[in-house]
Structures are given as C-alpha cells and as structure tokens.
Amino acid sequence: MNWGDKMEKVKIGKVVTTHGIRGEIRILSSFPYKEKVFGVGKKIWIDGVEYTIVQYRVHKGFDMVVLDGFSNINDVLFLLKKDVFVEKEEIGLSPMEILDEDLIQYRVLTKDGKSGIIKEIFYAGPDNKVLRVQFDREVLIPFFSPMILEISPQEKTILVEIIEGM
C-alpha cells in the first residue's frame, strides 16, 4: 500500500526522536483516542508508507514504538520529524467519539435558539478540551462539562446551555 490510496488519513502525532539503539522511535501525540491507534499489530503511516507496530509503550508522556523490520537506531533516523497518520476507518470510533477535525464542522445550538459555529478546539490540559464558539459573541465551552447537553453526530449539532455571565 502507498500514500496514494483513497483512504482518509488522520494525523495522530510526530516522530520527535529515537530512543536507545534498538530502533525505537518516540512519538509526540495529543491524539485523544491513543488506545485505538497505538498497540502491537496496529498500522501507522509515516511519509506515505504504512508500518506495523511490533512493540508499544508509554514513556515520560511519549508514545514509544518499534516498527516491523527495524531493530537499529540507524534504520529509523530517516523517520525523524515526520508526521504520523492512521487510516480514519481503522480507528474504530463509536458514534459518540468524534475527532476534533470532524467536530469543527458541527453547529452549536443553545436552548434559547441561538446558533453558533466552532472556530477552534484547543486543550487547556491533557483531558480538558475547550470549544471556542462564535455566537453573537465568542464563548469558550469546556467539552466535558454540564454545559454540553446533547451531541448529535447524525445532525452534526451540539446543544449547549450557556451559563449566565459567560
């Protein structure tokens, strides 16, 4: 397989360095569903080439992988500073698990009938996703909060209740 396939790819991180001399690479990733993309036997794409993970562990906040066919540091140096992707279809998300790049397309509706659009998604900590939503004014909405009342992946909408003073 090569990069030219029609499968949609999702960026999950970047190779930042090697680790040790046995071909292990260190990937910096803030991908929210790591357990679905990192693991022995999982496929990743780097620079248009598909690789299979044969070893995986977390070390000091980094995702450490050894790829099939690579057992020496010199074999993996060409991967440094390259982005890491997976095929979107291979992630295996449930209907309520939504990638940030898909979420940015959702409309945000309030209980009182206002409509807004998501301008940006950022993280104010490892598990604190925040939506920057443009209504008549800009509002920051924590994604995992009581303000989010309902998410409808079919309609691509999020129903929210804006707290007084926001």
The letter for the amino acid at 16 is V
> Secondary structure of 80-133 in the HEC alphabet?
CCCEEEEEHHHHCCCCCCCCHHHHCCCEEEECCCCEEEEEEEEECCCCCEEEEE
List of domains in the chain: 9-91 (2.40.30.60), 100-160 (2.30.30.240)
Give 52-98 pLDDT, tens digit per residue.
999 999 999 999 999 999 999 999 999 999 999 999 999 998 877 89
- Please give the structure tokens belonging to residue 68: 């099939």
The predicted pLDDT at position 65 comes to: 98
Q: Is the pLDDT of residue 30 over 90?
A: no
Element (H, E) at 35: helix 34-37
The predicted pLDDT at position 1 comes to: 46
Largest separation between any pair of C-alpha atoms in the chain: 60
| 96 close to 144: Cβ distance less than 8 angstroms | no
Distance (Å, whole) CA 105 – CA 122:
15
User: CA torsion angle for 79, 83, 89, 95 (degrees, to 10)?
Assistant: 140
